[in-house]
Amino acid sequence: MILPQELIRAKRDGRGLDDSEIAGFVSGITDGRVTEGQAAAFAMAVFFRGLSLAERVALTRAMTWSGTVLTWDLPGPVLDKHSTGGVGDAVSLALAPMVAACGGYVPMISGRGLGHTGGTLDKLASIPGYDSTPGLDRFRNVTRSIGCAIIGQTADLAPADRRFYAIRDVTGTVESLDLITASILSKKLAAGLGGLVMDVKTGSGAFMAEIDEARALADSIVSVANGAGLNTVALVTDMDAPLASSAGNALEVTYAVDYLTGRACEPAFHAVTVALCAEMLVLGGLAADTAEASRRVEEARTSGRAAEIFGRMVAALGGPSDLVENTGRHCPMAPVIRPVMAERAGIVAGVETRHLGLAVIALGGGRTRPQDEIDPAVGLSSLARPGDVADTLGIVHARNEAEADAAEAALRAAYRIEDEGPSPRPLIIERVADKA
């Protein structure tokens, strides 16, 4: 294997890397021959120099095959969705059981929070007893018997990405199109999927804030995935405001349960969730088109089947058997809960959504170092969206009064209040499919 420092230098200086060099470096990440500092330096070199399509494919394949690659023998299609991350993006928690209720099988491998965004794995970790890293046999059995299982990367699945992911989170290299592509697809390819729908966010709360960046990432993921034999489409969706009105781990679990049970149904969250589910059903041959698929998804939620499946999944993975019925009993609550009122009358004209995500991290709901522990109870709820009357901007959930003060200031600073509301912005901006 080429010395790690020489490979880093080569990429730093703009030289292309061949398959064997990339495979060797990824092998070193997996077995520890590449140090955390070297992996961080490589990530930074890629961030600035980029990877060619061939290098992207090689990196994706190497990380996929750094561990076990699953195969399935199920009576329905094996499908998944992945989001590039945002604030209040609790879609996965609702989507997996909704698709399962329609006949799909969803073995979803999710990650921890990255940068200012929340991670599905961290949200599930707020459920007492939930085993987010089960053995592969348990993962298979839960997926087969219930229809979905949402877990984190185990030691068996794409272990190189698991280590690299944590390093990227704290080294300012999250936004690399190349590394995002390889990270997402290595996990999905290792899960043995038959179809994947990507939710590529754009706006002030997204890693790809500009629409051209989001399109480029969507194109990258679709082209690399389809080139690797995984049928994939992408939706570019809006993240210029929190998707759900809650941001924080236990708060988002509660939000998702309320949505699945019909206790709440916010239009933006609902529209994006249904659109992604519908694309999955069409990919899996479970519906002829997205109109039919949307009707099936709606019925799966309103009938209560999706909520039942979510509850069964939680129980099968070690969580409480009555989470859906008694969410408040099981999800932790912060000791300080404080509404934040707007300082002037008017309409919410805009939100610096990334700042809201950073406020959640500052409260203890995210990490600044890979080893940091997360407080599952803290976060923000009842967040206002653009176009809302400026009244309550949100509610802070904090460990103490000092942290609540800081979050209150951050919340107010993130909102722009004017006399008139903003021009409408579409939630589903465009669809990207394989050009072949």
Q: Catalogue the active-site residues.
A: 80-83, 120, 168, 183, 187-188
Amino acid in the structure at residue 184 = I
- Spatial distance between the Cα atoms of 430 and 426, rounded to a whole number of angstroms: 9
Compute, in degrees rounded to 10, the torsion defined by CA atoms 163, 164, 165, 166: 60
Residues 6+ apart with CB under 8 A from 29: 39, 66, 160, 163, 164
CA distance 364 to 366: 6
How many whole angstroms separate alpha carbon 415 and alpha carbon 269? 20
Distance CA 264, CA 268 (A): 12
**φ, ψ at 149 (rounded to 5°):** -150, 125
Would you list the DSSP string of 289-327?
SHHHHHHHHHHHHHTSHHHHHHHHHHHHTTS-TTTTTTH
Q: Which helix (H) or strand (E) holds 358?
A: helix 353-360
Cβ contacts of residue 323 below 8 Å, gap of 6+? 127, 257, 311, 314, 315, 330
| Mode of pairing for the β-strands spanning 79-83 and 195-202 | parallel
| Sequence-separated (6 or more) residues with CB below 8 Å from residue 4 | 25, 28, 33, 34, 35, 38, 42
Give CA separation, 17 vs 8, 162, 180, 384, 389, in Å.
10, 22, 18, 47, 54
For residue 339, the cross-strand partners are 395
Q: How far is CA 23 from CA 116, 215, 243, 327, in A?
A: 30, 28, 38, 45
Q: Using the 8-state DSSP alphabet, how is residue 363 labeled?
A: I
